[in-house]
């Protein structure tokens, strides 16, 4: 421990949460080594008081670039509006996709089924086949006046078994090519937040941009930033000035070991490694209680008394981001440890 004490345990459960977002290479030039704060730049959107400080530094009419278009991005737009911001906001991401809203029901409208679709019987064994089945199921749902949200929720509910059936190469294809689309439909906006985004879009103070950032520097007058980006599908780059930048690219899952000193030490000792999909830590899965939910070491062996809990195990177990899935996994893990201790 950092206070010099030592704890001994028969079993160790790694339940670290999500790592902080990481500055992509072109943006690192904005933060000199050893400097923790740059006026007008929010590198950690989860930091308390960050938006209030940004408004104080750049004003309510400032032009803001938000990099990343997920739920945190939407929360930042809503938060800026709550702080009286009325300037232009540009949300930039590689695909230009914004999170989809939760289902809206009109007064007196019957509530649709929570889940629609069976993706396990029979299971699909390729990313392409799974995508086709999802699209087909959404069409079938629409014919029965069932919203697409019910199909996505069924996917989420069956996610662990779906993921387990897919070969590693197909899981990697999904992470590489389809994850952005899944995130946009899986992590949905609250209706209140969606209303704010719609209002800002209609007022022409919010736009979404599909592009890749290729460069960044401080403006010559040291007021704001100059960002160079290449629009998706284009070959030419564009330079644009922004008064403020907010990073909302999500947790840097690929750097979970580097950001957590205890994990770094376990990795140095060869006891843990990253999952081949890049989602968390390499974790075992088996019908045998003595061989499941445990860390897989660098040499490919299972560490009997080292367990992985929560989202860090999703490379093996699939959907493990929401509270219901984490609760089910935790309950199963507790039973595994109980049996191991007998």
pLDDT 10s digits, 166-198: 999 999 999 999 999 999 999 999 999 999 999
- Note down the domain range covering 305: 253-341
> Is position 47 within any domain?
yes
Please tell me whether residues 313 and 257 are part of one structural domain: yes
Residue where a domain terminates, one of 217, 247, 277: 247
Of 11-25, 143-157, 190-204, 231-245, which gets the smallest average pLDDT? 11-25
Q: Are residues 88 and 195 in the same domain?
A: yes
Task: Quote the CA–CA distance of 225 and 64 in Å, as a whole number.
Answer: 10
Q: Mark whether 52 and 173 lie in a shared domain.
A: no
Contact 101, 188 (CB under 8 A): yes
User: 334 and 258: one domain?
Assistant: yes
> Looking at residue 194, what is its pLDDT?
96
Tell me, yes or no, whether 145 and 242 share the same domain: no
Of 199, 224, 247, the one marking the end of a domain is 247
In the DSSP assignment, the letter for residue 172 is: H
Asked whether residue 115 is assigned to any structural domain, the reply reads no
**Does residue 182 sit in the same domain as residue 324?**
no
Mean pLDDT computed over every residue of the chain: 92
Report residue 34's pLDDT band, with 50, 70 and 90 as the boundaries: low
Looking at the structure, do residues 151 and 283 belong to the same domain, yes or no?
A: no
Is the domain of 70 the same as that of 210? yes
Average confidence (pLDDT) over 120-147:
96
Position 116 in a domain: no
DSSP structure string for 29-78 = GGS-TT----TTEES-TTSTTHHHHHHHHH-TT--EEEE--SHHHHHHHH
Residue 223 lies in a domain: yes
Q: What is the mean pLDDT of residues 6-29?
A: 86
CATH of the domain at 207: 3.50.50.60
**Spatial separation of the C-alpha atoms in residues 33 and 327, rounded to whole Å:** 40
Residue 20 pLDDT more than 80? no
* Strand, helix or coil for residue 244: strand
Q: Give residue for tokens 């950032």.
A: 213
What is the average pLDDT across 91-110? 90
CA distances (Å), 194 to each of 100, 136, 160, 219, 233, in order?
Answer: 8, 27, 29, 33, 28
Residue 39, in any domain of the structure: yes
238 and 264 housed in the same domain: no
Domain-embedded: residue 82: yes
Count of domains for the chain: 3
Question: Which two structure tokens, joined as six digits, stand for 330?
Answer: 């935790």
Would 119 be classed as within a structural domain?
A: no
**pLDDT above 90 for 222:** no
Same domain, 76 and 50: yes
Same domain, 49 and 29: yes
In a domain, 18, yes or no: no
pTM of the model: 0.89
Residues 230, 284: one domain? Answer: no
pLDDT beyond 80 at 81? yes
Identify which of 51, 114, 78 has the alpha carbon closest to the alpha carbon of residue 192: 78
Q: Which of 168, 186, 204 is the last residue of a domain?
A: 186
């Amino acid at each position: 421990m950092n206070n010099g004490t030592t704890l001994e345990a028969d079993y160790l459960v790694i339940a670290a949460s999500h790592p902080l977002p990481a500055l992509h290479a072109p943006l690192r030039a904005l933060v000199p080594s050893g400097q923790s704060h740059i006026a007008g730049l929010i590198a950690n959107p989860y930091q308390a008081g960050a938006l209030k400080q940004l408004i104080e530094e750049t004003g309510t009419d400032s032009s803001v670039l938000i990099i990343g278009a997920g739920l945190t991005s939407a929360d930042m737009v809503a938060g800026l509006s709550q702080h009286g911001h009325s300037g232009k906001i540009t949300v930039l991401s590689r695909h230009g996709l914004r999170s989809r809203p939760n289902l809206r029901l009109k007064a007196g409208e019957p509530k649709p089924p929570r889940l629609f679709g069976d993706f396990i019987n029979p299971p699909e064994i390729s990313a392409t086949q799974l995508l086709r089945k999802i699209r087909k199921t959404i069409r079938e749902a629409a014919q029965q006046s069932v919203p697409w949200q019910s199909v996505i929720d069924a996917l989420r509910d069956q996610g662990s078994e779906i993921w387990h059936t897919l070969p590693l190469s197909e899981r990697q294809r999904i992470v590489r090519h389809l994850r952005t689309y899944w995130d946009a439909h899986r992590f949905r906006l609250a209706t209140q937040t969606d209303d704010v985004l719609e209002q800002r879009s209609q007022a022409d103070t919010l736009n979404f941009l599909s592009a890749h950032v290729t460069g960044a520097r401080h403006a010559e007058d040291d007021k704001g930033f100059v960002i160079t980006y290449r629009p998706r599908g284009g070959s030419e780059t564009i330079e644009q000035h922004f008064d403020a930048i907010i990073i909302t690219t999500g947790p840097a899952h690929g750097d979970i070991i580097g950001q957590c000193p205890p994990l770094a030490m376990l990795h140095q000792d060869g006891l843990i490694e990253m999952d081949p999909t890049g989602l968390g830590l390499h974790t075992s899965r088996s019908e045998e209680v003595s061989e499941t939910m445990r860390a897989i070491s660098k040499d490919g062996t299972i560490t009997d008394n080292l367990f992985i809990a929560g989202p860090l195990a999703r490379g093996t177990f699939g959907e493990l981001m929401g509270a219901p899935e984490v609760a089910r996994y935790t309950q199963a893990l507790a039973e595994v440890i109980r049996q191991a201790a007998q």
